Structure 1
């Protein structure tokens, strides 16, 4: 194939290929050859030098081919090879929901390690870029959830922490983010049992623990689902994970605790678990943290924080929430200061600062967040 020998970008050749593929969209031989050519012409360094508008057209035509020939393994693989590109996934404008759906369909159809790896890599990124309504449409489909969980199950049985496991965990984490419907399907498909096993099998593997706890944090945010997490075994695990030397692990474990202790009293009836003990541990561990150098979490919204910030009888819960807000607003002020103000969380923080009986640590940290807002041009009177 001639395109395999090009060493410099050839947008002119791409512009010749796309119309032919679009005109003959139902001819498999043309689509197979075309998708292979498009991959060769956009891969690696060549893709870095091609205008995003051309890459957008490449993606559109590739997705159409994947949609028209869902059972053609080589064509699907060609499409995945093209799409599995950081520049395309992060910088090019295209229908990301359609892409994620087609890639998940591909994951279901073929049982091939390289296909699995590329598909979950693409999904892990796209799931964070589509709307929560769209993630719910994908994540709430049991067939997708079962497939993703089966990939995790296989790697757990093999004791293999490979790139496919990490991408699959990230995809599940992003699909459950602010999506109660996806969280419900995760629980219905026995995902919780599997994830609690992961914490045992891959104990002290911070990368796995962080992703597992990140997803469980999403479940803990959903008030009706908290009871599923409140059991003696998991609470004991949380107490250990709270004191992980890795601040990412400790942070997400603490986030789960902060949400669980806000559950109804009926949820804490099981013998052998004490909400008061967990609260005490939560307060101690948050005070012990030093701010990490890098941003360690991304949020779509701060709405789940409002019930935590207003938990006036549990200052430890407030402390975790304010620490989290201080972390993200100092690490990524441009994104999160605007989000805080847009969602009205800044007013909640100002009320905390003004409350005479609020906990000293909470009030001081809330004041620091308000200072960050003011430094970035968001000023209001207390």
Structure 2
């Protein structure tokens, strides 16, 4: 017996994301068979590895040899799924005869120096070591010894590879004597981020042997002095100096890098983006770098004030504005840049009309915001601001390309799981996206799952953050519960249980969390109900009840706790047992004593006790004078129509059906209670609307067979007559499919049932026949 679904009052319907938008970002693409295979292998290493090695030094089975493509995919899949256990996994690559690696990305893993050595021995061409706290300075020698094959190297952000103690004010003599730090003469791409405490001499030594570099990223690195560290890098085609301070000192060196095609000198900090002569510096850069196709000056004043200014060089002679609102770009009017970053430039440069560039990152319109978001996906400071812009597009319902926006939000949240503001802005935007979508989005399983997974990831990290939890719960409410969330059922339940007891009392998060739990409990199958009990739903609900009783507070949360337990105990004896073991009956009596006039609370409690009474092995726990007296008294209740009286009669019927020998209570007596129950049943209106759901009539049909106790039989047959009469479409098929018609005929023909029971049986049979005839007519 289930409590009726209650979330329908709070769930909002939504519009769909156009299918063509999902096609833009691949969100709707199903998982490939290859993805599924690699996921299975990394979760079941015995497929590849010697079983004896699984708990020690991992080794491939003797007959297995893997090509480079499979080795790399295995490593990257494992690193993404279990980044904290990567050191154990990389041991399979010790055998270089059976395995091969070229491109290794270990971002955000717990790789150690020893694990890194195993991988470096493969003569890698690409190595990404960002966000690896366990890699120490000792690894420099290992990287350097194997670096001759390296073409791409990414280091930085959360790392201890270059500690300030060794490379700060007084760089160790060892490196000065040999005039390099890492000897990688063939390196083409170097990314070195967030090394703000290191001095110019470090960069000079690091870059000294890397004369073949084509791409250099020094984002958020310390001041580079006069930038002479890169003067010899004549092959550079891409230079990223995002959030590097005092770039003005290095402009002349930058101007000598004639092969530059991409230059990024953007800033997220106002103080670093101010130039004494912004227009003059931009003009000099544009004049000196003829191959430039992409330029990012976001967060600076290099775009000028937007008013007419005098030409800054002899090649810009003409009208004062030279055909553009950005004076420094005058000579590119007839040769526009492919991309320019103008996000948060001074004097609102992105709002100007004549900008000589094909793509503009800014905040003037939806297109500029999208371009900015894609350009800054790896930059938390900038991305946070862009996501706020994106949020406002949805808040005011002005976003036209929902699919692109969805892709951006999910990518941002997945790339920056520990950036609170990104998770907050992203989850708020997801709410508006999902709320404003609907049927078409909900038809794409991969889209739904990626949204839900991203939300749960964020809620796990920020489970104590009221805003994040609120955003997540509200967004989850827009999905079909439980169908859309069952793939990650256990994690969702754990998060919701935390929202119920881990958040502030009477908070919105607590309320919506318990309603989501109730919605889950109402609709999941028996196995999942058991899992709900194992995860502690019953105990959490009893804890909330205890708190409300202590404070004398009867609110919607108290009512919902009993409703949730009503649903989670439905046809689930294990959970009914947990309720009794947690002193649930004592809480029932206390709630009844403190809040006797709360109709919904009383109905929910009696509904739950009806589930307990259906379990024969537990009924003896209800055989207590206090409990029986309460059940008998509630037979006369008028609360919530007939619901409380009906449920009380159901509990008594199950107890009494075990026979006189099982009735161990002297007062009230079995005869007295059964007489009172029949008196109550005779008063009920057979056309009463009901606030209850049955998925099966098996417990009721069992009582209908108790010929030796016709009072119990009368309650059961009355229930069938009422439900098939008021809700024939819902319940007539249940009666017929579970053998009820044959049983009802048997009741009519049997000599023991009283006349009223037989009349009710006739009514049920007629209800079912009428329904069947109507269905046949409609089918015909």
For 1:122, the equivalent position in structure 2 comes to 516
SS at match of 1:245: coil
Structure 2 distance, partners of 1:9, 1:57, is 22
Structure 2 distance, partners of 1:15, 1:343, is 51
Structure 2 distance, partners of 1:9, 1:59, is 26
For 1:36, the equivalent position in structure 2 comes to 428
1:1-382 → structure 2 map (5 Å cutoff): 1-2=388-389, 3-4=391-392, 6-8=395-397, 12-13=401-402, 16-18=405-407, 21=410, 25=414, 27-28=416-417, 29=419, 30-43=422-435, 46=436, 52-53=442-443, 57-58=447-448, 60-67=450-457, 69-72=459-462, 73=465, 74-85=467-478, 88-89=479-480, 93-95=484-486, 97-98=489-490, 99-112=492-505, 113-141=507-535, 143-246=536-639, 247-263=642-658, 265-291=660-686, 293-377=688-772
1:56 deviates by 8.4
Q: Residues 178 and 79 (structure 1 numbering): CA distance in 2 closer, same or farther, change over 3 Å?
A: same
Q: Which moved more, 1:21-30 or 1:344-353?
A: 21-30
Q: Residues 13 and 376 (structure 1 numbering): CA distance in 2 closer, same or farther, change over 3 Å?
A: same
Q: Residues 273 and 15 (structure 1 numbering): CA distance in 2 closer, same or farther, change over 3 Å?
A: farther
1:257-281 superposed Cα distances (whole Å, 9 cap, x missing partner): 1111123545422332311111111
Q: Residues 9 and 104 (structure 1 numbering): CA distance in 2 closer, same or farther, change over 3 Å?
A: farther
Give the structure with the higher percent strand: 2
For 2:234, the equivalent position in structure 1 comes to none
Contact 1:139-1:182 at 8 Å conserved across structures: yes
SS at match of 1:271: coil
Structure 1 distance, partners of 2:672, 2:576, is 27
Larger Cα Rg: Structure 1 or Structure 2?
2
Structure 2 distance, partners of 1:237, 1:11, is 61
1:156 deviates by 2.5
Contact 1:14-1:38 at 8 Å conserved across structures: no
Q: Residues 15 and 133 (structure 1 numbering): CA distance in 2 closer, same or farther, change over 3 Å?
A: farther
Structure 1 distance, partners of 2:500, 2:559, is 16
Structure 1 unaligned blocks of 5 or more: none
Contact 2:686-2:721 at 8 Å conserved across structures: no
Structure 2 distance, partners of 1:9, 1:355, is 71
Contact 1:170-1:211 at 8 Å conserved across structures: yes
Give the structure with the higher percent helix: 1
- How many residue pairs get aligned? The number is 374
1:233 deviates by 0.9
Structure 1 distance, partners of 2:575, 2:447, is 31
Structure 2 distance, partners of 1:188, 1:91, is 28
1:312 deviates by 0.2
Contact 2:496-2:513 at 8 Å conserved across structures: yes
Contact 1:139-1:145 at 8 Å conserved across structures: yes
Structure 1 distance, partners of 2:620, 2:470, is 42
Structure 2 unaligned blocks of 5 or more: 1-387, 775-780
Q: CA RMSD in A?
A: 2.8
1:292-312 superposed Cα distances (whole Å, 9 cap, x missing partner): 542221112111112200100
1:8 deviates by 4.0
SS at match of 2:658: coil
1:54 deviates by 6.3
Given the two structures, how large is their TM-score scaled by the length of structure 2? 0.45
1:100 deviates by 4.1
Contact 1:231-1:273 at 8 Å conserved across structures: no
